[in-house]
Structure 1
Amino acid sequence: MKGVIMRRILPGLFALLLLCTVILSSPAFCQENPPEDDVPEYSYIRARIIKVVDLKNPEGTGTSGLPEQNQLVTVKLLDAQYKGREMEIIHTLTNHPGYDVKVKPGDQVVLYAEPEGDKLNNVYIEDFARDHKMLYLVFLFIILLLLVGGKQGLKSIFTLTVTVGAVFFGLLPLMFRGYNPIGVTVIISAAVTTFTLLVIGGKSAKTLSAIMGTIGGVLVAGILAFLVGSAAHLTGFSDEEMQMLVYIPQQIDFDYRGILFSGMIIGALGAVMDVGMSIASAVDEIKKANPMMGKTALIRAGMNVGRDIMGTMSNTLILAYTGGAIPLMLVFMAYKMPFVKILNLDLIATEIVRALAGSIGLIVAIPITSIIAGILLEGRKKYPHRQERLHDNDPYQM
């Protein structure tokens, strides 16, 4: 039975995902976007601060009404095309901590520039260069995965790389070309789930249980988010970034609400996948330890494990969204905004639907995974140790 499942269901699942991807990639399923000729040409260039000289501002304030302090900053360009070239830039500070980039010699920054041949026009300091610092954290993450996880850690790095690639080179480009964001997200989520769990868990009934439980939980989360979000008139424009999409030069007619619901599905995927694999692995180990356990007992064991996981994982999702909203909640407290107004804001309603839909999908994944794991693993041979016990008691056994 298990061999039939592995030979037929998993290849069939891959074939279905491949077919859906091919269909969605056809021109009939996307809109024609206008040419990108109107996109401005500019570059971002890394540079190191060499010298900073404060300049006097005779007026004391700038066009924004904020007090300004101008600096003459000497920078050395670090990118290959301009490597070693030095430039002097007028850098303006406004005494606003959210806007100012306060630099000193030795700092690495990112410059905005409009290239014209070998000449750079309209050059100014955009921000600090942070990528090289974040690389240290990435290396630490990889080292710890390898030290603690060993072979499984290496698999985790591989699957994480594929997942990130699927999002940045699959999901986002397809959305940008005008494909239905919900359909694309569901297919890519299913593909990422199948690939990740197959690499981590191998080709087994345990893995199939985790895959089906994860996909089921994510689908429930997506459907709930869509139904409740539509009924609650969520616009999708609660984020500043979503509003910026309206004004991009390509003038793409995005499905903004669909993008919102797609984000909810992706946000829930990791936690639901974790729950699905944890329950399937637990049921598999229980079956190995007690081969005589039947389907009902295995399902009950999976549910017991799921109940222990449920509380902490739900907290993980809700606290993750709450943590990102702490500054906003402080603003509400400062202005003593009424609770009724807070609860009915598009931004707050969106985050509530996002957190609760993901948590419900996580909860639903528990019984789905437990039931499928109980059914599939019940077929495993119930008496694998009987022959060993007979041999141990055989007086003629040498």
Structure 2
Amino acid sequence: MPRAVLLVALAAVAIATLAGLAWLWPDGKAADDLHGSVQFAAEGATFPEAVVDRVRPACPPVDPSDPGGSGGSADRSGCGTVTATVAEGAGDGDQVTVDVPPEVATSGLAKGDRIQLLRTPTVEGQDPTYGYFGISRATPLWLVAGLFALVVLVVARWRGLMAIVGLGFAALVVGFFAIPALITGEQPVAVALVTGALIMFVVLYTTHGFSMRTSAALGGTLVGMLLIAGISWWAIGAAHLTGVVDQSGQALTTFAPGLQMQDLLVAAVVIAGLGILNDVTITQASAVWELRAASPAMSRARLFTSGMRIGRDHIASTIYTIVFAYAGTALTLLLAVSLYDRSWWELLTTEEISEEIVRALTGSIGLVLAVPATTAVAVLTVPGPRGSLDP
């Protein structure tokens, strides 16, 4: 009976997910109109790649005691610049010298590396102007991605391959459904829940196979996702977080005024918690099935207790993972705000820090509650004790 209830519930959620996908599917024309609607640079500007010929060290700091601000006797001519040769497109072969930020000049950039330039055309009869735009990182990024795929395939083999396929599917859902739906004004929390449910259905079953064990994990995952959405929605509203903390948020409020920023923050918390939630629930379901295999005569009550012992250890380590992940992401922000002449308590209540705290804590609460939920679903659906009337 519990197995039938779980399968019927999952089927109902699957139907609701597909219905939500159809209902929230973005207006393609509206998404196309918004895409590229914000002018990034002057009209006619291009971004050619160039090969670095020479890097001059960053300029020495200016001596604040020097009233002229010249930096004393230090030679500042030509410092903090990169000389490069345009390697593609308009201006191919031009050798230019551009100023770069100090952190770029000291980042290890060397001759032979590639950078991106901003080439701005000028009036007829004058040469175009060049400026530094960024470092071309395509090659190292592809190498890291290739190394990641190789390691996953060698160690996890078939499961690793299916995990990569699932990751690709998740990227497609986010790129072709979630982002266009959000940018065109669809309800962010609904979009996040449909996105999360769709991804979890496909990822769990393709990676771990069609089984009652996977179904139990999926049930716990969906419960955890709903808990994270509800708790984060309440916490974000209670803390009056705006969801606008940087230039990206300000740009969205300006060019996509229909976007609900507070609800977008809830959606971000839900999507951010999917990966770690999946890890916890599949581990709990597997633990219950392995405990049953090791002790066929164990009652369901004892099975739940044993499963929760494993779950408590997993909760402790996972909470560290979540908190340290957010702390690492916000490390630069933490260092910056520590320079202000205000107490740490006052700084913790600022929009930027409060948002990270709410993200970490609400995600952790949902994650913790997903452990007993998944364990209970798994215990109810795992085969009963041998030689017992326990259903």
TM-score (norm 2): 0.82
Whole-angstrom distance in 2 between the partners of 1:288 and 1:196? 25
Change (3 A) 1:26 1:342: closer
Which letter does structure 1 place at the counterpart of 2:327? T
Task: Say whether residues 1:187 and 2:197 are aligned partners.
Answer: no
> What is the CA deviation profile of residues 37-96 of structure 1, one whole-angstrom value per residue up to 9, with x for unaligned ones?
664655433332246799xxxx998xxxxx774758342324xxx3992123341246x4
Whole-angstrom distance in 1 between the partners of 2:26 and 2:172? 21
Name the SS of the counterpart of 1:85 in structure 2: coil
1:45-124 matched pairs, under 5 angstroms = 45-50=48-53, 69=78, 73-78=83-88, 82=89, 85-93=92-100, 96-97=102-103, 104-113=110-119, 122-124=129-131
2:54–2:111 CA contact under 8 A, matched in 1? yes
Which letter does structure 2 place at the counterpart of 1:109? I
**Residue 391 (structure 1) aligns with:** none
**Residue 73 (structure 2) aligns with:** none
**Residue 390 (structure 1) aligns with:** none
Partner residue of 2:367 out of 362, 385, 394: 362
2:56–2:105 CA contact under 8 A, matched in 1? no
Whole-angstrom distance in 1 between the partners of 2:366 and 2:315? 11
2:192–2:270 CA contact under 8 A, matched in 1? yes
Whole-angstrom distance in 2 between the partners of 1:239 and 1:36? 20
1:74–1:86 CA contact under 8 A, matched in 2? no
Task: Say whether residues 1:302 and 2:307 are aligned partners.
Answer: yes
2:86–2:92 CA contact under 8 A, matched in 1? yes
List runs of 5+ in structure 2 lacking aligned partners: 58-67, 71-75
Task: Say whether residues 1:316 and 2:321 are aligned partners.
Answer: yes
Change (3 A) 1:122 1:266: farther
**Residue 140 (structure 1) aligns with:** 147
Whole-angstrom distance in 2 between the partners of 1:301 and 1:343? 39
Whole-angstrom distance in 1 between the partners of 2:161 and 2:116? 33
Change (3 A) 1:4 1:220: closer
**RMSD of the TM alignment (CA)?**
3.4
> What is the CA deviation profile of residues 107-157 of structure 1, one whole-angstrom value per residue up to 9, with x for unaligned ones?
1112234589xx995543211111211211111111111111011111111
How far is the alpha carbon of 1:288 from its aligned partner? 2.1
How far is the alpha carbon of 1:277 from its aligned partner? 0.5
Name the SS of the counterpart of 1:89 in structure 2: strand
- Per residue, is there more strand in 1 or in 2? 1
Whole-angstrom distance in 2 between the partners of 1:322 and 1:378? 42
How far is the alpha carbon of 1:316 from its aligned partner? 0.4
> What is the CA deviation profile of residues 260-317 of structure 1, one whole-angstrom value per residue up to 9, with x for unaligned ones?
1111111111111110000001111112222233322222222111101000000100
Change (3 A) 1:37 1:301: closer
1:72–1:88 CA contact under 8 A, matched in 2? no
Which letter does structure 2 place at the counterpart of 1:45? P
2:26–2:184 CA contact under 8 A, matched in 1? no
1:50–1:74 CA contact under 8 A, matched in 2? yes
**Residue 283 (structure 1) aligns with:** 288
1:50–1:76 CA contact under 8 A, matched in 2? no
TM-score (norm 1): 0.80
**Residue 278 (structure 2) aligns with:** 273
Which letter does structure 2 place at the counterpart of 1:288? A
Whole-angstrom distance in 1 between the partners of 2:16 and 2:311? 29
Name the SS of the counterpart of 1:310 in structure 2: helix
Equivalenced residue count is: 364
**Residue 393 (structure 1) aligns with:** none
**Residue 248 (structure 2) aligns with:** 241
Name the SS of the counterpart of 1:91 in structure 2: strand
Change (3 A) 1:189 1:115: farther
List runs of 5+ in structure 1 lacking aligned partners: 62-66, 385-398
Which letter does structure 1 place at the counterpart of 2:47? Y
**Residue 326 (structure 1) aligns with:** 331
2:273–2:363 CA contact under 8 A, matched in 1? yes
Whole-angstrom distance in 2 between the partners of 1:273 and 1:151? 18
Q: Which moved more, 1:331-340 or 1:257-266?
A: 331-340
2:7–2:215 CA contact under 8 A, matched in 1? no
2:26–2:181 CA contact under 8 A, matched in 1? no
How far is the alpha carbon of 1:240 from its aligned partner? 3.6
Whole-angstrom distance in 2 between the partners of 1:300 and 1:239? 46
1:60–1:68 CA contact under 8 A, matched in 2? no
1:33–1:252 CA contact under 8 A, matched in 2? no
